[in-house]
Every structure is written in structure tokens, then in C-alpha cells.
Structure 1
Amino acid sequence: MTDDRLCRHCLLTIGPRAMRRTVNGENCAFCCYGCCIAFQVRSGKSEEWEAAWLLIRLGVGGFLSMNIMLFSLLLYTGAFTGVDARLLPWVHLLLWIFATPAFVILGGPFLRETWLDGVQGRLRSSALIVVGVSAAYIYSAFAVIERGTHVYFDTATMVLMLFTVGRYLEAAGRARAARDLEPLLAAESECATVVNGGAETRRPVREVDARMLVRVRPGERIPVDGVVTEGESHTDEAVITGESRQVAKSVGSPVIAGSINLDGPLLIQSSGAGTATRWAQICRSVRDALVRRSPTQRIADRVVGASVPVVLALGGLTMLYWAQRLPLERALLFGLAVLVVACPCAVGLAAPLATSLGIGRLARCGCLVRDPGVLEALARTRLLAFDKTGTLTSGSAHVVGIESDGAGADEVLARAAGLERYSEHGLARAITMAAATRGLEPVVTGDVRILPGRGIRGNADGKAVVAGNSALISELGWSLAPALGERARSLEASGYSVIYVGWGDRVRAVLSLDDSLLPEARSTIAALRSRGLHPILLTGDVAHAAQRVAVAVGIVDVQAGLSPEAKRAALDRQRQRYGVVAMVGDGLNDGPVLADADVGIAVGSATDLARETAALVLPRDGLWMLPWVVDVARAVRMTILTNLLWAFGYNLIALTLAALGLLQPVLAAAVMAGSSVLVVLNSLRLERMPDPVRTPVPGRRSSTETENARHGLGVHRFGWAGAKNDT
């Protein structure tokens, strides 16, 4: 740090010991703590502003409350007796003067909340505080007017003081969570440096379109998806991909919006609109999830709403009971203690804070949570069902053989590609890639219709064209040469995926395709098993191919040849046995079953439909993160249950003591503030959960090899089988 930097608030020179604080996701320097608080009040967003403003109120209210307590202690020790008794009314008046602004400053938010709730015809925890404290304040005010002997301004102000301390600690916890989430939620407000000719202008990222040039300096967050056109650097992509390692970037390298440019300036050509990036999608998903209420939160809210009238009645009954045995002012204190100690602040905070921290913890590693209830459901899940293609395998299948019946391999591929280019299935992409590798132009095909779980059909040259599995061929009743059918069955028995291609009411060829297993699939399944989860495989592929993959990854329970409807039925049967079930999938066929599962999990490379129907989306190539996601979900649920158990148990014991007259109001307020603090501290433990660690897999392909395979450039192990039939 140097002496010539300026304070972010007052713009004065900062000394060698500057105070640094993250505000709105930006690291700011201040000359003192006062400037830090003032800047947060002026410029902070939501939780940060609330926490800073609460701290200011605490400072003013605390000064007044301490003076009230000082004079009250003199009253309790009998300092104003005998010859000084004439000063007692003036001391009471002085306490009233101090208590009134303290009551307004500290009690204002509680009064406002209670008024708004009353207008809407409901009661919440703030009503308990307002009723109890107002009773003590009004009783004391009348005692001053009537020259009574006892006033309880100290009780009223200290109760408000302690509850405000509790709210400040809650707000500080939420602000801390918000600061951690700021990089994820900044996509909508981010700006980009757009280069147009020789001029550079700052624009909101929502105004950036495809092919625009964007300059990103070292230390800045990349605002758009695109390709590097100038410069070299390293980027940190952990917020999107979950990978903590630095990624080298040079001319031609793709970059991801939301990642941080570390050590060199980059000029990036945007590949799409600034609002269409995965970073923006994460931002929208996290915002939506944070405003929703999880099932546990909704139950807790209903319990709190129902308990307030009961506690009000109990407080009144306690006061009436003790009023028949003790002086009225003592009975009033016992009733006030009941209202204060029963305030369910900790109950209302137990689930939301833990859920928000859990969502943020996952989102910082690129995992999208669309529904906060998914974390609690995943924590209770005992069975995980997996799709095969694109989930446990790379999804980058390639054509390894063509067996034809009187048709050339080029014609077969051209007609099949004309159909499959309309599909997003992994096998379809493999066929279109094989045609492109041979330099073939796909046959123009119209009236194309995808038949989920069976294949695809259309019309070309006035003839019906189909590409699909044996079920589709049987359904259509098309003829199949015995030799070709026997060869197809042999390939299926060997575990290859087989696509029947035909036109003119006859099957003309059989394509055999192979898919590579994800290197991390076996270790992921083993890790899930060690956590007590039962994995099963539900796939539309043939039994032999499914069994081969299942054996390779360590899954025993396999159900193959399933249509989307059959997958849903299979999942329903498993639900009857295991209770809560989850489905992990990728692809168009998985949309219905992902939506039907208690927890639908899609991998980042999934089709748009799979992503939209899934409640949880893992980053691209993020299957390895699934065990860690389960750990986070279980930690969130355990934290929520611990918070609720503590809050309800704490309230029940303290309420009993207060009703028996064993708890003073000030002590009751301290007890409740302590309860909220413990809930906050317990929830913040979620932030200390370790990041996911990707276990190195022996024999894992390099990124270059992966790209070659994805583009059909790898050497096929079997070459072009059946070339003898090419004509």
C-alpha cells in the first residue's frame, strides 16, 4: 500500500494502514472505519446497506441506552433515597427524555414491520417485540406523569438494543453471503470495453452483440463469451466450470464470460449477445432460486405465523396470573419476558440463510440451482438413476461401420445426415460429422419429425426416409434383408449402437456407432456408492451396449431399451422402493424424466430442453462434481435441521422459564439474540466447505485429443466395416 491513494468515501489520502472492504463485489480502500460504514450506507446494495445502517443505529441507540442503564443502576442501588428523594421525579424525567429517541431509533423498524403486517392482516415476530416493549415504555411514561416509584425504560431500551444487535449480526451474515455471490450476480450490471476502430467505449454488457471486439485488462472479469483475437494471458474459470487451475489463453482460444483475466490484456471477439452467456444464465438462475422458499422454509414460516397469536395470549395470561400474586409492575415484567423470549427470530432465519449459502457455494463452482428445495431433496435421495449417452459416456459417438444392402456408403450417409442434422442426439451428431468428414452434402429432407426413443423420419426425393432403431423399423413394417438383420443383431450383441437407415419402405443399411466412456465415470460412481447411494442405469440403448457401460463404471442395476415414458415408469417403481429419487441425464430424451424425478440433474453439455427441465445443472464435463454436490446438499440440510432443532428447543425452554417468572426481560432479549447469533454462526460454517477436487484419471485424453475426437478426426479402430458392399 502507498500513501498517495485516496479514500473511496472522503477522497482524502490513505495512510500506510488503510482499511479494505469488499463493497458490491469491488475491493475498496478507506482511511477509517467511519468512512467504510458511510460508503456502505451510501453505495451498498441490499444486505450490505442494511448491515451498515443497522450498525449506525446501534451506535446511536447504544449511546442512549448506556446512559439509561447508568441512571437506572443508581435507582436500583437506592442512590435517590432520603434527602435525595426529591430528585427522583427529575431522574425519571431524564430517563424518559433519553428513552424516547432510543425507542424511535431502535424500535422504528419493528414498529414499521408490525404496522405493514397489520395492514395486510397478519402478525409476525416483530409484533411480539412491539407489544412487549411498548407496554414497558407506556407504563413507565404514565409512572413519570403520575410520579410513580418504578419505571422500566431501561428494560424497554435494552430489549430493543439486544434485538437490534441480533438483527445486525443476521444482516452481517447475509451481507457476507451476498459478497460471496456478487461475482455470480454481476452479469446483469457488468460493463464491457467495446473497441470500435481506434476508439474504446464502456457499454453495459446487455448492449454487446455478436462479433463485437471487447478489450479486457488484467484483473478484470471477462464480460462475454468469445474468442481471443489479440494477446496472451491466463484465466481463472472456477466461477463457471468449477476448475481451480489457471487456463492459458492465446489467439484463437475460446474464453468464457465470468472468468477472470489474470496476467495479460486480451482483445476478444464476442461470439454472441452479452445476455446469452452461461454467466448470465447462472446469474438469473441464482436470483430466481434465492427469492423462492424451500419446503422447510415454508413450513417454518407457517409455524412462526401460527405461534405469534398463541404467544401474545400466553404473555397476557402470564401477566394476569402473576398480577394476582405480585405487584402489577412485576407481573408486567414477567409477561414482557414471555413475549420477548418467544420471538421466533432464529426460527425464521434457520432455513433461508443456510439455503442461500448452499446455493451460493454451488454456484461459485458453476452448478446452477433452479429450486432451493432441490438441496433438501438431494440430501434425502437414496437412489441416483443415470442416462448413458452423454452422461456416463462422452456423447461423442462416431461411426465405425456401414453394412449396406445394395446401397453405397456415401448415399447412405448423405441420406442419414439429411435427417440427423435436425436432431441434437449424440448419435445424430456422429452421423452428420461422418458425412462431413467424407465431404458429403446431406440430402435435402423435409417434413422431418423426431420420434423420441425410436429415431427420426422425413421425406426426400418424394420418398419416406427413416433412421432409427429396430423398434421403429418393426413399427413401420419395412422389409429388412435377413443377412443385414443378422449382422445388425451381431453388432448389437457386441455392444455397439446400431442405426437402421432406409427409404422407399425398405431398410438399405445399418450404421454401427461406438461411444467412449468418460474417464471419471467409474470413480464418480464409486464415490456415490461410498456415500450410501444406489446408482442404476436407465437408457434407451440396446441391452448389450448398456451392460458393457454398466460393467465398466460399476453399476449393477441396468434397464435398457427404454422409451422416455418407460424411463418415467421405471423411475416411479424405484420411487416406491427408495423414496426420493434423482435422475442424471443429458439429451432430448431425458427432458420428461428429468422433470418427473424428485431431483433432475443435467450436465452442462445437455440440450436446452434437458437444462430447462432439470432442477440442478452441473457445469460442462462436470460429472466428477456430483459427489461433492451431494455433500453440499447434505451439509445444507443438516445445518437447517440443526438450526431448527436449536431454535425450537431454545425457545421452548426459555419460554417455560419466562412463564415461571425465572427470566427477566433483558436477560430474555439476550437469550434470543444469542440464539440468532448461534444460528448465523452455524450456517456460516457452510462457507468453509472445501472446494471440489478432481481426481486425476490415468489415461485421460488431452484436450487436443478430445477436440479431435469431437470433430471426427480420430482414427476409428474398426475403419469402415462393410466396405465390400460399397457400390
Structure 2
Amino acid sequence: PAATKNATISLSGLWCPSCAWLINERLDRSPGIQAAEVNFIRREALVAYDPERTDPRRIARQIKKFGYGARLEEDDAYNEEEAEWMRLLISGVLVMHIMFISFMLYFREWTGRAGPETEWLADIFRLMIAAFSVPVILIIGLPILRAGLASLIRGRPNTHTLIAIGSFAAFALSVRNLLAGQGDVYFDTAAILLFLVAIGHWLELRAQKVSGEAVERLWRQIPPEATWLTPQGWQRGPADAVPLGARVRVRPGERFPVDGVVAAGEGDVDESVVTGEPDPAARREGDTALAGTMNLDGGFEVIATAVGPQTVVGQIGQLLHQAMWQRAPVERQADRLAAWLVPIAVALAAATFAFWTWQDSVDTGLIHALAVLLIACPCALGIATPLTLWVGLGRATRSGVILRYTGVLEQLAEAKQVYFDKTGTLTKRPIRLQEVAVIGERLSVNGESPISNTPIPNTPISNLLLRAAAVEAMSEHPLGQAIAQGAAKWLDDLPPRAEHFRAFPGQGVCGVVAGDEVWIGSRRLMAQQGLEMPEALADTAVSWQNDGLTVTYVGWNGRVRGLLGLGETARAEAAETIADLQKLEMPVTILTGDSEAAGRRWQTALGVPVYAEQRPEDKVTRLKAAGENVVMVGDGINDGPALAAASVGIAVRQGTDVAQSAAAVILLHDDLRAVPWLIALSRVAMRKVRQNLAWAVGYNAIGLVLAVSGLLQPSLAALLMVFSNVIVTTNALRLRRADLGRLSFVEVEETEEEETEDIGDQRLEIGDSAQPPISNLPVSTP
């Protein structure tokens, strides 16, 4: 059988999530379609299909049969918001005339001036209203009628159905009464309510566009063209066509079109689009430059290492695109409620029509039933949740925090406890190799360089460093990288390549060098492998631990041969991060593989519980024992299982691929203060979700009671429906500038480039931390 293919189809004409649900249901039942997912906010359908049975063009035609627009990627672009705005402009002129003429007729009735002598003039005015109403019905009403009838015929009535039934029933009754010369006409009611509904639809389209601007802005940062060196000289062409390894030129004021390593040039680079950091970063030869970042004042030439979707910005865009397709549980609940409300509204309208026809007349029954249909439209209910979550996703993205799915906001809002890994998360990189010891010899480091700038001669220490560097060169752990890099500074020769490398998470590594199986790691690992510990080295290890160094043991051939002492510095913002979490009443716990003594020092310094000697499986066990609603913040290969075991895993920027693949949240910068900020943002977002849902449900309930009782006219019901949509969308968009409290994290402000108002007055201030910053903490491993 042919392999399954995927297609993305752009949709138009969707008025609420029930429309997306209808398309999804029908596509799932269509032959040849193996899976379908319709996203109301993105207005796209992602379809997996069997190419032997169907194709994207045929699928698009199926969607059009439902009454909706469908376009493939190769089709001409269609701006639904702009098209809706043009329809509103044309219809608005006609509706203004209808309202003015209708007012004169109503004024005639209200003032008691209606009489046989002016009836002929009133009839002319009614004909004028009918004439002006027809174009409005055609321009605004036909798309609604088409979608509504398609949904009704297929047994899945939706919002289109409600509006179409009400407005066209009023129009048909008016034509009948006008031709019969008896009864009232409701041309103005039909035209005005369609116009008001269209305004509400346009406001939703606009709000959804604004909510996704921060996300879509990432895709626009990579320049479409680049200049790179070829055998024929400098060539300019599409950025996606730059070959890997090519030398790319970037002038001042231009954005980097590729990820690469700086080969020539020096200057400041604005990386805020990626990291959220407002301050420029200095870049020089050997540094990494990222696509989409702005070259402020230097002339650069970079060697391309990634282009297009493979760049960091491209990968972020893909993560955000995936997040848009992952619906939060609260979204699914709102969608189901909105889908159920439509048939309930139709049933209530039918009952209202029957009751008032029995009590009064067909005209009265129709008007009251029309009010029921309009007030019951679940547009506000359907848009309340996804729009709010999307605004939160965009705000987080703007500040360098990437969410893999919008449901993370819901999970973080319910979080009860935060766990931190220590090494590489609460500590600042790079960790440095500071001490080396073998029996009878010891080498120390002052600052960042060895005491002697010349290579170490052939000694037991150089032999130890050579073997340790060979094995640790293959490790991703930050301690292993520090050992490999530190040893390289002191060695004259490059270390050999270790064979049969193995990693033991939470304990150490092993590899074969020069025929010997070399073990590097904790004292527990040495004991497990039966390596004898010389008393002199054991005493040295205790001394180093008391001095606050991380001690790593190296051994082979049945004996521990030496020690490596590494020093690390706590992040300056670690205390502020913990203080901010305490402001949010979030308990904080630290998990570390260090010894109990080192753990106690961390506990004293930070004032939070610290669990030491934690292997990866111990961290997972502790997280599971903590129950649900647990957040884990980590970095490094050891943290992958813990990040996956937590309710929400957060990986800092330096996290390895394993850590980031297991994390639901990725910090593109290394500022840990973003963790409490994100939790505060999630709480405010979910508060607005609850507010919007409460408003939408309460509005529908009260409105239905009034409409069924005959106390609500259709025009007022339509106006109230628009008002409800405005309330919900405005409240959701307020999340972009909502005050999250006096937290120390400084988020990136919205810029004019995002076509939004500046929020400089909302910028969070850095307050005094509850605890002073810490510069150096003692640590050690067993």
C-alpha cells in the first residue's frame, strides 16, 4: 500500500469552533482520509490521506461542499479578514440608509402620526428598505446561508444554521407580508442583525490575528535572501539555497540569514527575537550567530551551519506550529459545550415559535424565536478559551519562553511545587576544572588558567588528564565537558579517542583508553566497580569537599588513580528566582547528585530543602511521590527522565537534546527568573479563561430566558451578541499587558514592528530580592 501523505488546507468561513468540529467530523468519515485535525484559530486543516484513494484537491472540494472555503498551499493567498472588512464597508452604507428610513417609520408610529393619508408614503419607504436589504442579504447573508444549510442538511447544525434560519425566516416573512399587503415587515431586522453578526465575526478575525502576531513574527525574521561566497565571487540568492559550509556576508543593519560560526568580523548583535534578552550580545570570531538576529554595528562573515527550517528560529517556529495544534483540556471542554449548545438553541427556538404562535401570531412567534437563535449563538463561548491561551503563548514567546502546547499554561496554573536540578541549572556555566591530584602530586589553578602556561611534561598527572579527557570528550554532561576542556589546556598532545564509551546516569562514565578500562565518576561508582581507594586520595577528597569543590574520581586496573576537583558558581538570579516563587506561594525543592555535606551547604545558602545523592531514578521516584501538578526545571542528560516524569518539564537554554525533547517548556535564555514569571502568566491566563467562560455561559443563560419570555427583540439580541464577543476578545487581549505582580524577571516589550501599542509603562520593575545574590557555593559529589 502507498505511504500516507499529509496535506495542510487553509480554511475560510469558520464562525466558531462548532464549524471546525463539523469539518473535522466529516473529514474523519470521508474515504481515503486516515486522520484529520481542524484548528479553528489557525483556520487550517491538517489531513493524513491515502494517495491511492484521494488527493488534497478532492479533499478541498469536499470541504467546499460543506459551505466553507478551502485552499491548498499552491493556491493564491486569501485574506479573510480583509474580505470581511470590504463586505462590511459596502453593507455598512446600505445599512445606514435602512436604519435612517426605519427610524422615520418607527417615529411615525411612536408619535401617533400613522394614518391612511400617509400609508402610501410608508409603503414606498418599506419598498426602499426591501431594496437596500437585498444587497446586504446577498453580500453578508449568502455565505452564512450556504454554510448553515450545508450543516443542517448533513444533520450537524452549527452557528451558521442559527443565524441563517433566523435572518432568512424574517426576510421571507417580510416578503410575504409585503406582497400580501398585510402584517409587519422585518427587512430592517434581517439586514441589521446580519450586519451586526458580520461585525462580530470581523472582530474575532482581527483578535485572532493579533493573538498570533508574536508567534508568526518569528517566521518573518529570517531574511528571504542572503549573500554568500562562490567560486565565481559573491552571489546573492534565496537564503534557503545557501549550502552548508558556505561563507555568508552580513552587513550592519542586516539580519543573519543562516545559523553559523563567525569567521570574520566583530560587533554587537540583537538576539532579542530568539532569546528575549533586550541587551545586545557581543559576537566575534568563533562565536555562534543565529538566523533572524540583527547585526547592529559590525561587518560579519559566517560559515553556515544551518539554513531554513533547520535554524534555531526555524525549529522554534516548528515547535510553535505544533503547539497551535495541541489543544488544552479546557479548550476541548469549551468546544464540546459550544457544539451541544447549537442543537439545544434550535430546539428552544422551535418551542418558542410554537408557544408564541399559539399565544399571539406567527409573526410574534417568529420574532421571539429569532431572538432565541441569535442570543444562543455560542461564538463567545467558543472563542473565550483558545484566544486567551494563544495570547499567553505569544507573550511567552516574545520573552524567550517556548511552550510546546497551550495546555502547558493550564498545567502551570495548577502547579503546586517546583523542583530544580542543581548542576547546570542553578549553577552558572562553565564549570571549571580547578584541581588535579594523584598520589604524591597535586596541580592547582589560579583563576581560569593553570599556574604554568606551558604544557605539563610526561608525569602521572598528565597521564591521568590524558585518559580523563579521552573519555569525557564523548560525554554531554556539563561536568564531563568541563573536564575535557580543562584538561586540553594542560596537555601538549591531543587525547586519543576512547573506545566502548558508556554513560551511567547519575554516577559517571567509562571508556577504553590504551587498552585500559577507565572509570570516571562518583565514589559510589568506584566502589561498585571494585576500585581500591588509596587513603591519601580519600583524605584529599574530603579536604576538597570542605573547600566546596565537586570531586570526581578516576580509576583503572582495580585502583583509583587520581582526583579531579571542579568548581561551579551559582547563578546570580538563583536567589531572586526562589524569592519570586515564594511570593507565588510555590514550595521549592532542589535535587542534586552531590554529597550530603554539599547538599546541606546549598540548603543553608538558599533556604530551601535540598535532597542530595539523587540519581536519575531517585529524582523520578521523588517526583512521582510528590503527586500531580509538579514542575521540574533541569538541564543535562541526567534530567531527561525527571523532566518527562514531572507534570511540566522546563529546560534551560543549555539543555541537551535529550532534556529539551522531554521538556514541555524551553527557555531560550538562561534567566531562571522566567520560571516564576511563566507560572504567574499561566495563573493570570487561566483566570481570564474562567472569567470569559463564566461571562459567555452566564450571558447565554440570561439572554435565553429573556428571549424565550418575549422580552428581547432580535436586533437587540444581535447587538448583545456582538457586545459579548467584544467583551470576551477584549478581556483575552488584555493578557498581553496584564500585570503579573512585582517579579524580578524583565520581559521583552511589544514593539511597533508587531503593530501593537508600546507597553513601556507596564514593564516590570526589578525589586529587592528577599535574599541577597550568591556568588559561590560549595558543592561536591560523593
**Normalised TM-score (structure 1):** 0.83
Distance in structure 2 (CA, Å) of the matches to 1:609 and 1:120: 47
Aligned to 1:638: 687
State the AA in 1 paired with 2:94.
Answer: L
After superposition, residues 190-229 of structure 1 pair within 5 angstroms as 190-196=224-230, 201-227=235-261
Shift of 1:399: 2.4
Provide, for residues 268-294 of structure 1, a one-character-per-residue CA deviation record: whole Å limited to 9, x for no partner.
443443433222222112222123322
Aligned to 1:413: 465
SS of the residue 2:569 aligns to = coil
Aligned to 2:85: 55
Q: Which residue among 375, 380, 383 is the counterpart of 1:346?
A: 380
Distance in structure 1 (CA, Å) of the matches to 2:738 and 2:732: 11
SS of the residue 1:515 aligns to = strand
Distance in structure 2 (CA, Å) of the matches to 1:283 and 1:480: 52
Aligned to 2:512: 459
1:154 aligns with 2:206: no
Distance in structure 2 (CA, Å) of the matches to 1:126 and 1:631: 38
1:398 aligns with 2:432: yes
1:316 aligns with 2:350: yes
Provide, for residues 304-336 of structure 1, a one-character-per-residue CA deviation record: whole Å limited to 9, x for no partner.
011111111111111212222112111211111
Distance in structure 1 (CA, Å) of the matches to 2:408 and 2:664: 7
SS of the residue 1:143 aligns to = helix
Shift of 1:676: 0.7
Q: Which residue among 608, 632, 635 is the counterpart of 1:586?
A: 635
Distance in structure 2 (CA, Å) of the matches to 1:122 and 1:480: 76
1:185 aligns with 2:234: no
**Do the aligned residues in 2 keep the contact of 1:124 with 1:308 (CA within 8 Å)?**
yes
Q: Which residue among 707, 714, 721 is the counterpart of 1:665?
A: 714
State the AA in 2 paired with 1:469.
Answer: S
For structure 2, the 5+ residue unaligned runs are 1-74, 441-458, 740-745, 748-763
Provide, for residues 22-69 of structure 1, a one-character-per-residue CA deviation record: whole Å limited to 9, x for no partner.
xxxxxxxxxxxxxxxxxxxxxxx9999222221111111222323333
Aligned to 1:565: 617
SS of the residue 2:650 aligns to = strand
CA RMSD of aligned residues (A): 3.2
Distance in structure 1 (CA, Å) of the matches to 2:263 and 2:548: 44
Cα 1:68–1:569, aligned 2, differ >3 Å: closer, same or farther? same
Aligned to 1:541: 594
Distance in structure 2 (CA, Å) of the matches to 1:365 and 1:230: 30
Cα 1:664–1:547, aligned 2, differ >3 Å: closer, same or farther? same
Between 140-149 and 349-358, report the one with greater CA deviation.
Answer: 140-149
**Do the aligned residues in 1 keep the contact of 2:222 with 2:292 (CA within 8 Å)?**
no
State the AA in 1 paired with 2:487.
Answer: A
After superposition, residues 430-445 of structure 1 pair within 5 angstroms as 430-439=482-491, 440-445=493-498
Aligned to 1:34: none
Distance in structure 2 (CA, Å) of the matches to 1:480 and 1:264: 55
Shift of 1:615: 0.9
Shift of 1:247: 4.0
Cα 1:184–1:417, aligned 2, differ >3 Å: closer, same or farther? same
Shift of 1:673: 0.3
Cα 1:425–1:119, aligned 2, differ >3 Å: closer, same or farther? farther
Cα 1:48–1:199, aligned 2, differ >3 Å: closer, same or farther? farther
Aligned to 1:611: 660
Aligned to 2:571: 518
Distance in structure 2 (CA, Å) of the matches to 1:536 and 1:687: 31
Percent of residue pairs bearing the same amino acid type: 37
Shift of 1:217: 4.5
Distance in structure 2 (CA, Å) of the matches to 1:168 and 1:602: 39
Shift of 1:544: 2.2
**Do the aligned residues in 2 keep the contact of 1:454 with 1:472 (CA within 8 Å)?**
yes
Shift of 1:88: 6.2
1:508 aligns with 2:561: yes
**Do the aligned residues in 2 keep the contact of 1:388 with 1:546 (CA within 8 Å)?**
no
Distance in structure 1 (CA, Å) of the matches to 2:197 and 2:191: 10
Q: Which residue among 380, 394, 414 is the counterpart of 1:380?
A: 414
Cα 1:325–1:116, aligned 2, differ >3 Å: closer, same or farther? closer
State the AA in 1 paired with 2:653.
Answer: G
Distance in structure 1 (CA, Å) of the matches to 2:415 and 2:234: 52
SS of the residue 2:359 aligns to = coil
Aligned to 2:580: 527
State the AA in 2 paired with 1:581.
Answer: V
1:651 aligns with 2:708: no
Shift of 1:489: 4.7
Distance in structure 2 (CA, Å) of the matches to 1:253 and 1:478: 41
Q: Which residue among 39, 45, 66 is the counterpart of 2:96?
A: 66
State the AA in 1 paired with 2:583.
Answer: S
Distance in structure 2 (CA, Å) of the matches to 1:410 and 1:113: 78
Cα 1:465–1:245, aligned 2, differ >3 Å: closer, same or farther? closer
Shift of 1:502: 1.7
Distance in structure 2 (CA, Å) of the matches to 1:417 and 1:448: 12
Aligned to 2:309: 275
Cα 1:264–1:82, aligned 2, differ >3 Å: closer, same or farther? farther
Q: Which residue among 371, 388, 402 is the counterpart of 1:368?
A: 402
SS of the residue 2:384 aligns to = helix
Provide, for residues 507-549 of structure 1, a one-character-per-residue CA deviation record: whole Å limited to 9, x for no partner.
2223222211111111221122122111110122222223323
Distance in structure 1 (CA, Å) of the matches to 2:213 and 2:132: 37
**Do the aligned residues in 2 keep the contact of 1:525 with 1:555 (CA within 8 Å)?**
no
SS of the residue 2:335 aligns to = helix
**Do the aligned residues in 2 keep the contact of 1:208 with 1:274 (CA within 8 Å)?**
no
Distance in structure 2 (CA, Å) of the matches to 1:188 and 1:230: 21
Between 580-589 and 220-229, report the one with greater CA deviation.
Answer: 220-229
Aligned to 2:4: none
Cα 1:468–1:227, aligned 2, differ >3 Å: closer, same or farther? closer
Aligned to 1:425: 477
For structure 1, the 5+ residue unaligned runs are 1-44, 702-708, 710-716, 719-727
Shift of 1:130: 2.0
Aligned to 2:275: 241
Distance in structure 1 (CA, Å) of the matches to 2:331 and 2:248: 43
Provide, for residues 421-451 of structure 1, a one-character-per-residue CA deviation record: whole Å limited to 9, x for no partner.
1111011011111220112432432111111
Provide, for residues 135-174 of structure 1, a one-character-per-residue CA deviation record: whole Å limited to 9, x for no partner.
2223223333444322212111111111111111122222
Cα 1:436–1:274, aligned 2, differ >3 Å: closer, same or farther? farther
Distance in structure 2 (CA, Å) of the matches to 1:322 and 1:402: 93
